């Protein structure tokens, strides 16, 4: 795949033939960078009953400065698979200068598809340039949390990734990424970020992470684990933010899991009223 950039825009063109047996060269990647986050579309060849030979999917890819990779999850239509992905992941890996960048299906994969960067600049150069721009962390967190409250997972992820590019252990951003993945029905990824947030944060951050872990475990029908996570959230001092439709939805779903859940939810709701408008956490506008 040949990658070409112009400003913040990135375009990838796959040659004829290859794994997908294309009859001619075809543009398969197009989008732009926001910090080290690439937002755009990717076209993949695919297999599966009732699946067209190729399809275009919206993607959010992240550039790793340490590994020189651009990658992320591609959520395909149900029943469709692509040999270009490994466990749903698409990764473009840069090689030595003057050589090429490769889409790889895993770090250990030896199969490479060449993608030389053009003279107009590589994806790494674009992302590195954008990285130099200072991120207003409080503003990015606030915008990300507002996006979560509106259930806009993509916008929220963009903001939280900007924060994590500057502060990799920011617990609020890690929790926000977990919630964003949860909204996109990517539960394993959600749990990964929430566990990181729980380890990196203070008591308030741990409480927030425990609450969202309870939500994820409820969604995966792991009732005992969900109840324990909710109990930990409440014992750590978690309180429900006011006027947050997303949190209210999750609290309602948790309450329906049984009397033990309902009791814990009521404790969190009472605590919210006692604290007035001093809210916290993912989906709140007051980080």
pLDDT digits (tens, 9 = 90+) for 166-210: 788 999 999 999 999 999 898 999 999 999 999 988 999 999 999
Of 98-102, 155-159, 203-207, 233-237, the poorest mean pLDDT is in 98-102
Question: For residue 148, which of 187, 193, 180, 172 has the smallest C-alpha distance?
Answer: 180
CATH number for 137-275 (one of 2.30.30.40, 1.25.40.10, 1.20.120.450, 3.40.605.10): it is 1.25.40.10
Question: What is the rounded CA–CA span in Å between residue 186 and residue 210?
Answer: 17
Q: What is Dmax (Cα atoms) for the chain?
A: 66
Q: Which residues contact 120 (CB under 8 A, 6 or more apart)?
A: 4, 5, 6
pTM of this structure: 0.58
Q: Name the packing angle between helices 171-183 and 153-166 (round to 10°).
A: 150
The mean per-residue pLDDT over the stretch 24-28 comes to: 90
More confident residue, 5 or 81: 81
Question: What is the rounded CA–CA span in Å between residue 189 and residue 201?
Answer: 18
Is residue 113 over pLDDT 50? no
Structure token pair of residue 82: 């692509």
Structure token pair of residue 254: 């948790």
Is residue 65 over pLDDT 60? yes
Report the pLDDT value the prediction gives residue 135, as an integer from 0 to 100: 73
Domain ranges of the chain: 2-131, 137-275
More confident residue, 50 or 166: 50
Of 105-109, 149-153, 160-164, 268-272, the poorest mean pLDDT is in 105-109
Q: Do residues 90 and 61 lie in contact, with contact meaning Cβ atoms separated by under 8 Å?
A: yes
């Amino acid at each position: 795949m040949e990658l070409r950039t112009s400003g913040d825009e990135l375009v990838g063109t796959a040659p004829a033939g290859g794994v997908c047996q294309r009859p001619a060269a075809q543009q398969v990647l197009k989008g732009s960078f926001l910090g080290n986050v690439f937002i755009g579309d990717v076209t993949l060849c695919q297999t599966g009953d009732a699946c067209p030979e190729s399809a275009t999917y919206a993607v959010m890819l992240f550039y790793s400065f340490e590994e020189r990779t651009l990658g992320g999850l591609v959520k395909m239509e149900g029943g469709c698979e692509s040999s270009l992905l490994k466990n749903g992941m698409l990764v473009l890996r840069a090689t030595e200068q003057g050589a090429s960048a490769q889409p790889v299906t895993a770090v250990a994969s030896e199969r490479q598809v060449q993608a030389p960067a053009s003279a107009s600049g590589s994806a790494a150069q674009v992302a590195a340039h954008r990285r130099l721009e200072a991120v207003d962390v409080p503003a990015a967190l606030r915008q990300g949390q507002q996006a979560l409250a509106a259930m806009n997972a993509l916008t929220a992820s963009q903001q939280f990734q900007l924060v994590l590019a500057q502060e990799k252990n920011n617990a609020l951003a890690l929790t926000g990424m977990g919630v964003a993945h949860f909204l996109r029905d990517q539960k394993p990824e959600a749990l990964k970020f929430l566990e990181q947030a729980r380890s990196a944060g203070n008591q308030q951050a741990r409480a927030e992470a425990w609450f969202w872990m309870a939500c994820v475990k409820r969604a995966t029908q792991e009732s005992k684990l969900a109840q324990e996570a909710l109990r930990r959230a409440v014992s750590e001092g978690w309180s429900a933010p006011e006027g947050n439709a997303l949190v209210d939805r999750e609290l309602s779903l948790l309450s329906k899991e049984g009397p033990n859940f309902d009791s814990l939810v009521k404790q969190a709701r009472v605590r919210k009223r006692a604290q007035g408008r001093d809210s916290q956490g993912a989906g709140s506008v007051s980080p």
